[in-house]
Chain A
Amino acid sequence: MSRLSEQGLTRRALMSRAVAAGALAVAGAGFIAAPDAAWAVEVTAISEHEMATLLQMARDIYPHDRVGDRFYAIAVKAYDSEEQKALVAEGVAALDAAARAAGFDSYLAAGWEAERVEILRRIEDTAFFQAVRGGLVTGLYNQKEVWPIFGYEGESFSEGGYIDRGFDDIDWL
């Protein structure tokens, strides 16, 4: 199975500082960025609207309120490619059509997560949705940088395991 994090954006392309809460903005000129410009994603093959939609989809599929947008951006960055652009264009168009059928101007125009989840449920059997969801399983959760947010410590051999570092330190039982 591939590791999207390795195929995706490098740190150089993201200004990975703290991210302010708030919706993504289409910054124009081939970029989308956080509203405070704390980070940005360059798009080349797909449109800014499509990348912004992918990012919101990623957040709505696997919402973790303590995980910043920049990690989701890394997870979906690989869709900005010539190989994926047709799938993305068709998928985002279908998603926006589903949103209009539900009374919104677009998927991104639906303000509440619950409203967007309702829209996603309408397309969840499509190849596009399943590709995005399946890719996130490794693309998001296999980023070593997100592990500490979940309290997962990762590799331990180089530190001698946990034999002297708390394998049995539970104190609340």
Chain B
Amino acid sequence: MTQAAKFELGDDNVVVIIGTGASGGVLANELAQKGVKVVALEAGGRYMPEDYINDEWDSFGQLAWTDPRTTSGDWRVAKDFSGLPAWIVKAVGGTSIHWAGASLRFQDHEWKARTTYGAVEGASLLDWPIDAAEMAPWYDRAEAKLGVTGTGERARLPGNNNYKIFEKGAKALGYQDVHTGNMAINSADYDDRLACQQTGFCFQGCKWGAKWSSAYTDIPRGEATGNLEVRAHAHAARILHDDSGKVTGVEYFDQDGNLHLQKARVVCVAGNSFESPRLLLNSHSSMFPDGLANSSGQVGRNYMRHTTGSVYGIFEQPVRMYRGTTMAGIIRDEARHDPSRGFVGGYELETLALGLPFMAAFLDPGAWGREFTTALDAYENMAGMWIVGEDMPQAENRVTLSDVEDGFGLKVANVHFSDHPNDIAMRNHAYARGQAIYKAVGATRTLPTPPYPSTHNLGTNRMSERPEDGVVNKWGQSHDIANLFVSDGSQFTTGAAENPTLTIVALAIRQADHIATEMAAGNL
């Protein structure tokens, strides 16, 4: 095996990628495979499956991004978890260590949300500058890379106890499109990774490597080419540019707090939808006083987090929902666009389980007394599902720079979010359907549970046809600066109803192809 590369700080021929999750990790490997020299800066440390912990709080302490952030807006997360707007990861591999593995393609109409839904008051809906036909081959490649079940020749996963209840209730209500999902979790050994052992703890990092994560696939494979250097504990501070307005490198702090400058030919921002806009805003200069790539004023705006919520059902007899794959179960019938339900867009229902410690923290934050504790008393007899639906982009839901500074003296992200009336109508519809599903199989009590800190963070550097409507073009290339790209979910023009990672990976593969082509052509 080739030794992982090491590049000079002054090497201005490298592509610098900030972040190593589902987007940055894939982009780094795809570029390295094509012979492009890459330095990937990762704020967190490196952990492999043997390091992951089957314990919710211990794992959270190991992996979660807990650097300061601030919150505002009327979302309940701002009250209950004011410093923790998102449950995402700070580590090599990023949130691809924590994700559940649900890998769904957008529905065709979701690429054209503005055209399909029409004008929605208070929403900043826009069509993507790309569509289903454009993305189909990239989805094919993403599904093969991730080993998505129910695509290609890959069988679906077996259903666990939580799924069996969910499926029976769904069928009783007449739902048709019900199965164990399209999961980036192996149902059989695939691509040098084991089959799922039904361990649970998918959110804590898969200790079998059965779930795809860039941490133990794309990143080591990229390093093996000799073209990729990953620097862990490298916290990006600002992106620099020259007098012509081209970006020239990235300043970052190392583990000891020393500041370095890595020169770059191209910079790709892949730090998730809080850190990516934060970095662009913190990189303001006399030439770009409002931050990089922000001539439109759109950097940080249109933050989306999916319309979420959970429904738990309590039954007369044990379920033990925590056993087995956490999210291998889906009902897709409500994902369609059908305004007769009182909202535009649609939602997926997916199985979900939390362990007892997180159930206590997230079931009804702040609640106490017997209404709360009798529900936990029935933990063993509980089944759970998660709602994930399309939320409306709103210009005022946004990431801005807070007055609070982190340990490096960098202004942190403030995350402002308030539900749109469409989001509320959708959530209420989903709560009612979820409760009906469990009642149809004999639930004695159902619990419509509020959204958790966000895991799907989207839209704060959105893709747009016209430069005035967004931050990046159809390649993720910033409208303002040719050699500055955004590679993560912050590019999303709209959120669609589907878990975003498959689309993030497909976009990263496509972006790598574009960057390598443009570099070879001398355009970058």
Contacts and interface: CB of A to CB of B under 8 A. Distances in A.
B160 A63 contact: no
B201 A173 contact: no
B372 interface: yes
B356 interface: yes
Interface residues of A, number: 38
A173 B379 contact: no
A137 B360 contact: yes
A31 B133 CA distance: 73
Contacts of A66: 377
A151 B370 contact: no
A156 B380 contact: no
Contacts of A158: 54
Interface in B308-346: 316-320, 322-324
Interface string B334-377: 00000000000000000000011100110000101110110011
A37 to B, nearest CB: 27
Contact of A173 (B160, B322, B324, B441): B441
Contact of A63 (B318, B322, B370): B370
Contacts of A137: 360-361
Given A137-B361, A138-B357, A168-B161, A161 B199 contact: yes
B60 A162 contact: no
B159 interface: yes
B356 A63 contact: no
Q: Is the interface of B mostly helix, strand, loop or mixed?
A: loop
Interface residues of B, number: 45
Contacts of A141: 356-357, 360-361, 376
A169 B318 CA distance: 10
A154 B319 contact: no
A156 B161 contact: no
B376 A64 contact: yes
Nearest to B318: A151
A168 B373 contact: no
Contacts of B160: 162, 167-168
Given A141-B356, A150-B376, A157-B54, A172 B322 contact: no
A147 B355 CA distance: 9
B198 interface: yes
From DSSP, what is the main secondary structure of chain A's interface residues?
loop
Contacts of B57: 1, 3, 138, 142
A64 B164 CA distance: 29
A111 interface: no
Contacts of B54: 154-158
A22 interface: no
B342 to A, nearest CB: 32
Contacts, number: 116
Nearest to B163: A168
Given A1-B61, A61-B369, A150-B376, A170 B164 contact: yes
A161 B370 contact: no
Contacts of B116: none
Interface in A126-158: 133, 137-138, 140-142, 147, 150-158
B357 A162 contact: no
Contact of A152 (B316, B372, B380): B380
A117 interface: yes
Given A168-B324, A169-B161, A170-B161, A152 B356 contact: yes
B277 interface: no
Given A62-B368, A167-B160, A147 B356 contact: yes
Interface string A58-102: 001111101000000000000000000000000000000000000
25 contacts: A62-B373, A117-B369, A124-B368, A138-B57, A140-B360, A141-B376, A142-B57, A150-B380, A151-B320, A152-B355, A152-B379, A154-B355, A155-B55, A157-B54, A157-B208, A161-B199, A161-B208, A162-B160, A162-B200, A163-B196, A167-B160, A168-B161, A169-B161, A170-B164, A170-B319
The 8 closest A-B pairs by CB, nearest first: A151-B380, A161-B199, A167-B324, A161-B197, A141-B360, A167-B198, A155-B54, A152-B356
Interface of B: 54-55, 57, 60-61, 158-161, 164-165, 168, 196-201, 207-208, 316-320, 322-324, 355-357, 360-361, 366, 368-370, 372-373, 376-377, 379-381, 441
